[in-house]
Amino acid sequence: MEKIAVIKIRSDIGKNKAIKDGLRVFGLKKLYSCVIVDNSPRNKGILNIIDSVVTYGEIDTNTISKLLLKRGRISNKKKIDAKEQEITSFSESFLKGEKKIKDIGVKNLFNLHPPIKGFERKGKKTPFSLKGSFGYRGSKINELLERMI
């Protein structure tokens, strides 16, 4: 099953209750936090509701392995002790749906930096389809994650 990376890029202050509930379902509390979810109809429905606060797209194996190595945490401060080969083999089986992130003991919440060289030209208040930054990105989420790791 395909996986989707969801990154919170805007605040939920002043937003309606449905958006706040959708962010709570995914566990996105802080700005620039990221979760990886399945591409299911339930998750797509939640993403349609919180579309104006997050950016999301399909993540690939290379980006998952970099995200786990650099930002994967067992607890709030403790990094994972794994080699690159183990992480790349795990990320391939994770994308296929054979394993879960909890199998290696890592939380499914990654705290990221703001992107190097900033967001797109029109900033965080315009959707990605109009050269902004929030909303559906497709496979271009991998480029944004590379700059945020």
Sole residue written with tokens 């190097």 = 116
Residue of 26, 3, 1 lying closest to 12 (CA atoms) = 26
Q: Residue 23 phi/psi, 5° resolution?
A: -65, -35
Tell me, what's the pLDDT at 116?
92
Q: Quote the tokens at residue 127.
A: 């959707």
Domain annotation for the chain: domains and CATH numbers? 3-148 (3.30.1390.20)
pLDDT per residue of the chain (149 residues) written in tens, 0 to 9: 689 999 999 999 999 999 999 999 999 999 999 999 999 999 999 999 999 999 999 999 999 999 988 888 887 678 877 777 888 888 889 888 888 888 888 888 999 999 998 888 888 888 998 998 999 999 999 999 999 99
Q: Letter for the amino acid at 66?
A: K
